[in-house]
């Protein structure tokens, strides 16, 4: 009867949040429990800035100090005169500083993965120490020891066979009634290189653990009451989706629903493991459940807004058709660069794609394509997706700015808009 919990950065952003998380864990510590934890607050963003500056040969000491000060203050608030938490923190900070001091290679993505997981390593070390202080029998485990991936840095693919063979330490810890604290988002390759599962990949880690351990269910603890039909930061009058199917959740995640990572659902669907999304603010509330049944999928329209999107159009220089050979070449380049396409459209002589704004990868893509193709792009666009919408629910979005692309199917409408949506 193993359960898997996942706590994101907002749920451990300060000392009171950690205390709240601890209360939730303690209330379930009577059963085998794996707790997956993200980096605290905005630590991942800070480490990304450190990586970018380090790679470009720019100063980054201030950003390192920011990470150190933030975690030191939080640890002091949690532990007071007790040095246990400080020792745990200092051990991880020392490893972080050692990694930063290493010579920087020319592989941007590999260097990113060599640093980015320290947010999770630091947060889990602090939380493990605090759980023990509060009397919870828990053990800290390094996810890089048993989540094994390929070398596709920043978006690594799980080696399921190898991971299943290395999961034994987790099973042993659970058999001794320990709560297992592990890091979300990170893994390592067979060669021992650190990898990451993609931004916001801690949800996926929880799904991986549930699959490998045959867990009864997974609960993702969020700052919202469950899975909503839209992001409440961008849309008014959101509605909680009480129950939806794995299939619908995969669709919503693919289109960019921020409440779950796109890869999270598939391993759970394969073994029929339900996923609950609950509020850490009100842990006794019902939340949302993602399961096999799809009878409720169409009841409420869902709205997904992705900002900071890039629309890039590729056309042949001699006005010849874009054919299968061209598409094979283009997708090969996209795969090499790890660029995930959110929308695509083709005509006789051009092919357009929409992807997350990333200046570094965008420039690499333009450089690779420009030798053979004419390339144009627009930045700072919005991609809006509406699932199960009706004409009434669509009206308010049709005049929000210049629509560059519009696509419709029976269940989904998508628009690329040259304007910020003020909803």
Would 3-215 and 302-418 be classified into the same CATH topology?
no
Separation of first and last alpha carbons in the chain? 43
Task: Beginning with the edge strand found earlier in the chain, give each strand of the sheet holding 402-408 in spatial order.
Answer: 343-346, 350-356, 302-316, 373-387, 412-418, 402-408
Q: Do 220 and 179 form a contact (C-beta atoms < 8 A)?
A: no
Q: Distances from the Cα of 281 to the Cαs of 20, 24, 196, 289, 304, in angstroms? A: 8, 10, 29, 17, 24
- Closest CA relative to residue 400, chosen from 386, 410, 387: 386
Residue by residue, pLDDT tens for the chain (423 residues) are: 999 999 999 999 999 999 999 999 999 999 999 999 999 999 999 999 999 999 999 999 999 999 999 999 999 999 998 889 999 999 999 999 999 999 999 999 999 999 999 999 999 999 999 999 999 999 999 999 999 999 999 999 999 999 999 999 999 999 998 899 999 999 999 999 999 998 778 999 999 999 999 999 999 999 989 998 988 888 888 899 999 999 998 888 888 877 777 789 999 999 999 999 999 999 999 999 999 988 888 888 999 999 999 999 999 888 888 889 999 999 999 999 989 999 999 988 899 999 999 888 999 999 999 989 999 999 999 999 999 987 776 666 666 678 899 999 989 999 999 865 544
Q: Do 183 and 117 form a contact (C-beta atoms < 8 A)?
A: yes
Q: What is the pTM of this model?
A: 0.83
Which CATH number is 3-215 given?
Answer: 3.40.1160.10
- Closest CA relative to residue 290, chosen from 235, 349, 352, 219: 219
- Kindly state the helix (H) or strand (E) to which residue 310 belongs, with its residue range: strand 302-316
Q: Answer whether CATH 3.40.50.2020 is correct for domain 302-418.
A: no
> Can you give the residue ranges of every domain in the chain?
3-215, 302-418
Place of tokens 């899975």: 227
């Amino acid at each position: 009867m193993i359960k898997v919990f996942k706590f994101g950065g907002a749920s451990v952003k300060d000392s009171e949040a950690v205390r709240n998380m601890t209360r939730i864990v303690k209330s379930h510590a009577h059963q085998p429990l794996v707790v997956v934890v993200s980096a605290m607050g905005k630590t991942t963003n800070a480490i990304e800035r450190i990586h970018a500056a380090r790679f470009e040969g720019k100063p980054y000491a201030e950003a390192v100090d920011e990470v150190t000060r933030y975690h030191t203050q939080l640890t002091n608030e949690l532990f007071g005169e007790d040095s246990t938490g400080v020792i745990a923190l200092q051990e991880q900070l020392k490893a972080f500083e050692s990694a930063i001091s290493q010579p920087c290679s020319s592989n941007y993505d590999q260097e990113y993965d060599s640093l980015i997981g320290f947010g999770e390593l630091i947060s889990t070390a602090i939380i493990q120490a605090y759980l023990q202080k509060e009397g919870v029998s828990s053990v800290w485990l390094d996810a890089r020891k048993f989540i094994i991936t390929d070398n596709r840095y920043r978006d690594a693919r799980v080696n399921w066979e190898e991971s299943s063979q290395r999961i034994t330490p987790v099973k042993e810890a659970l058999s001794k009634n320990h709560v297992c604290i592990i890091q979300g988002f990170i893994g390592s390759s067979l060669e021992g290189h650190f990898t990451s599962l993609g931004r916001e990949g801690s949800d996926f880690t929880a799904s991986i653990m549930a699959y490998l351990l045959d867990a009864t269910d997974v609960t993702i603890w969020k700052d919202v009451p469950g899975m909503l039909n839209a992001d409440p930061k961008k849309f008014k009058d959101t509605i909680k989706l009480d129950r939806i199917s794995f299939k619908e959740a995969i669709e919503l995640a693919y289109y960019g629903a921020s409440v779950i990572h796109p890869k999270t659902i598939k391993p759970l669907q394969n073994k029929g493991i339900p996923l609950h999304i609950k509020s850490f603010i009100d842990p006794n509330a019902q939340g949302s459940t993602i399961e096999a049944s799809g009878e409720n999928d169409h009841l409420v329209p869902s709205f997904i807004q992705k900002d900071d999107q890039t629309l890039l159009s590729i056309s042949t220089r001699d006005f010849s058709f874009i054919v299968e050979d061209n598409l094979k070449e283009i997708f090969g380049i996209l795969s090499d660069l790890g660029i995930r396409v959110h929308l695509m459209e083709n005509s006789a002589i051009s092919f357009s794609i929409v992807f997350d704004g990333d200046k570094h990868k965008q420039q690499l893509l333009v450089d690779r394509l420009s030798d053979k193709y004419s390339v144009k792009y627009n930045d700072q666009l919005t991609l809006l997706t509406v699932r199960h919408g009706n004409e009434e629910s669509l009206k308010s979005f049709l005049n929000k700015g210049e629509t560059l692309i519009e696509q419709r199917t029976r269940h989904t409408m998508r628009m690329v808009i040259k304007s910020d949506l003020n909803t």
